[in-house]
Amino acid sequence: MTATELSLLFLKTFTIIGFTVYAIFAAVIVRQEQLMANVLEESFEPVLRTLVIIHLLVALGLLVLAFILL
């Protein structure tokens, strides 16, 4: 394995670990939103729930994209 290949492998590993951590963070936000929604009932809450779920799905999609493209 050449130095360039090794560098790219290191970069890919680092990127995928970073995206995995971010996807976990996005999942934590979803759980946090659920917890807080139990504390307070409010009419706007379903919109927030949709947004945090979209955020999580895009984070997971990006992780898959990184596996494919990098």
Partner 1 sequence: MHMGPLTVFAVNPDGVKFETQESEEKVILFLRQHLIVFVPAVLILTLLLMAPPILFPLLLSALGNLPIQLPAGYALVGGIFWYLATFGFALVSFLRWFFNIYIVTNERVVDIDFKFLLYKEFSEAKLSKIQDLTYTSGGIIAAFFNYGDVKVETAGEVPNIEFGAVPRPDKVVQTISELMEESKK
The residues binding partner 1 (CB under 8 A) are 4, 7-8, 11, 15, 19, 22, 25-26, 28-29, 31-33, 35-36, 38-44, 47-48, 51-52, 55, 58-59, 62, 65-66, 69-70
> Cβ atoms within 10 A of the Cβ of 23, count?
20
Neighbours of 42 (CB within 10 A): 9
CB of 1 to partner 1, least distance (A): 13
Q: CB within 8 A of 30, min separation 6: which ones?
A: 52, 53, 55, 56
What is the distance, to the nearest Å, from the Cα of residue 35 to the centroid of all Cα atoms in its chain? 19
Rounded to a whole number of angstroms, the minimum distance from the CB of residue 46 to partner 1 is: 11
Minimum distance from residue 53 beta carbon to partner 1 (Å): 11
